[in-house]
């Protein structure tokens, strides 16, 4: 069966410090990978998605970047954190069955980031 691992679970970082959140998926190959953010009391906002190694699409302009160095590894980074980067970050994967069909996203347990 497929599993998704996301770490760390919680993180407190000062403003201006770098960030690296990692996500790995097991039990599947060539998944679509996603980074979402949930701000306090709000819904989930798509930040980045990737359909393959080295292929990253950004949904919103921001202080963050993403990379996919391996098929089942997705990394969210920042060179200098802002206070507004605080939130709950979720990695998700999907096996996309192809043209004409659809499938749900499956989420990791998230990282609570607090920028102080």
Residue ranges binding another protein (CB under 8 A): 6, 9, 36, 42-46, 49, 59, 90, 92, 96, 100, 102, 104-110, 112
Nearer to another protein, 80 or 109 (CB): 109
Q: Omega of the bond prior to 108 within 30 degrees of 0, cis?
A: no
- Nearest distance from residue 94's CB to another protein, in Å? 8
- Nearest distance from residue 41's CB to another protein, in Å? 8
The string over 50-80, giving b where at least 16 C-beta atoms fall within 10 Å of a residue's C-beta and e elsewhere, is: beeeeebeeeeeeebebbbeebbebbbebee
- Nearest distance from residue 86's CB to another protein, in Å? 15
Nearer to another protein, 11 or 44 (CB): 44
Query: In 6-88, which ranges are continuous DSSP H helix?
Result: none
């Amino acid at each position: 069966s497929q599993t998704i691992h996301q770490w760390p679970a919680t993180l407190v970082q000062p403003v201006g410090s770098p960030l690296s959140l990692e996500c790995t998926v097991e039990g599947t190959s060539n998944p679509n990978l996603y980074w979402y953010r949930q701000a306090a009391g709000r819904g989930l906002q798509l930040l980045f998605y990737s359909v393959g190694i080295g292929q990253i699409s950004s949904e919103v302009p921001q202080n963050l970047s993403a990379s996919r160095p391996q098929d089942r590894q997705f990394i969210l980074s920042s060179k200098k954190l802002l206070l507004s980067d605080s939130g709950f970050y979720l990695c998700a994967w999907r096996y996309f069955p192809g043209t004409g069909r659809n499938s749900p996203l499956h989420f990791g347990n998230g990282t609570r980031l607090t920028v102080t």
